[in-house]
Amino acid sequence: MSKEAKEDFLKEPIYPITEPPSYDQSSGKILSWDFICSEQAITDNFTLYTSLDAQEKYKLFKNAKGSEDYIRARDLQQNGFALPVLQANRTLFKLNKFLTIYKFRPPPAAGTRLFSKKEDRYVFCKVERRWSIGYTRYILEFTPDFDNPNRKFTVTMIEHSRKPIIDISEFNGKRLRWTYSRYFFSGTHWAYNLNVLPPDTPSLTDNLTSENKVNSKNPLLGSSWGNVLIPRSRRGYVYESNHCVGKLYDALQIIGFKSTKFTFQKHTMDTNLSPESIFSVDEETMVILCIAAVIKRIEEIKADARKSR
C-alpha cells in the first residue's frame, strides 16, 4: 500500500445521514450501520464490528506499535474507531448456557498502549436457553455498565417452534420481532428482518407468566399437538409489521470465507455521531446486537444438524 493510499485509508470515514422516514420523529436524523461479523474457524466464536472498514483498520493497527502508524492508531482507538464492538463466545459443557457476550472498550485515554482484546473487555451479556413445548426461550442477562456491576436487566427472546418468528420482550418502550426471510437476496443462507410491532399486534412475550413462560392463552402459541405435528412455516412476511428497522443475513461463501451482516437503522437526535465509532452504539443498539448474535448461533446449530443427517 502506497503512502498516499494509506493516508486515505486511515481518514475517519464520513457517511451521509438521511432524513427520518414518515413514521419516525419529525426532528433528528437516521443513523445507519452495516455491522460485520468476523468468525473464528476453530472455536466458532465471532466478533462484531461497526463496519468492514473498522474491521480492516483494526487488523492493520494490531501490529502498529513501534511503527509510523502508532500515534494515529492510538488516537483513533481512544476515540472509539478501528475497534470491535462485541465478541460472542460459545459456552461449552454447561447445561442451558448458550453464549457469553463481551463488550469492548477503548484503551485508556491517559495511557499510551493500543487496544487489547483481553484487557479492554468485560462480560456484557450471559445467555441461557430453555426448551418448552411449542417454543424455545433465550434469557439474556445484561450487566451494561462496567463501572456499576450492580446494575442488571433481563431481556427474553422466544423462538416459535413452527412459525418463523422470534419475539423480544418489551424494552425501551418497543416490542420487537425478528421474522425469518430466507430469500432476502440470491446467495444468502438465511436472513431475518427486524420489525417494531404496533400495539395491536400479538407477541409471544405478551403477558408472560411469573416463570417467564409464554401465556397458555397466547393466540400465537396454538395447541400442544399442533406445535408438534404442523410443518414449520417459512413465510415470515405474514408476521411482519410496516416498520422494519434492520436486516440480519448470512452471505454466500466465497473462496472459503463467509460473512454475516447486520444492517440496522436508528433514529438519533445527535447528528454529530459517526457510525464508525463504537461510542455511537448506544445501549439499546448493543442489546439488539446481542439478540442478533443469538440468532446467528441458532442458525449455525440448525446448519450443523442438517449436515449430520
Per-domain residue ranges of the chain: 25-307
Q: How many percent of the chain have pLDDT more than 70?
A: 76
Alpha carbons within 13 angstroms on the beta-carbon side of residue 91 total 16
Q: Among 23-32, 55-64, 162-171, 174-183, which is the least confidently predicted range?
A: 23-32
Rounded CA gap, 211 and 213, in Å? 5
Query: In this structure, what C-alpha cell is assigned to residue 289?
Result: 446486537
Contact 180, 234 (CB under 8 A): yes
Query: In this structure, what C-alpha cell is assigned to residue 110?
Result: 491517559
Q: What is the pLDDT of residue 182?
A: 63
* Predicted confidence (pLDDT) at residue 42 exceeds the cutoff of 80: no
Could you read off the pLDDT of 201-238 as tens digits, one per residue? 999 999 999 898 999 899 998 755 445 545 455 555 67
Compute the Cα dihedral for 105, 108, 112, 117 and give only its sign: negative
The residue among 69 and 40 whose pLDDT is bigger is 69
Beta strand 135-142 pairing with 121-132: antiparallel
Could you read off the pLDDT of 17-26 as tens digits, one per residue? 233 333 344 4
Q: What is the pLDDT of residue 11?
A: 44
* Predicted confidence (pLDDT) at residue 283 exceeds the cutoff of 50: yes
pTM to 2 decimals?
Answer: 0.83
The residue among 75 and 275 whose pLDDT is bigger is 75
Q: Among 148-162, 195-209, 245-259, 288-302, which is the least confidently predicted range?
A: 245-259
Phi, psi (deg, nearest 5) at residue 100: -120, 125
Contacts of 201 (CB under 8 A, 6+ apart): 175, 241
Distances in whole angstroms, Cα of residue 109 to Cα of each of 13, 56, 103, 190: 21, 22, 18, 40
What amino acid is encoded at 108 in this protein? P
* Predicted confidence (pLDDT) at residue 7 exceeds the cutoff of 70: no
Q: How many residues belong to the chain?
A: 309
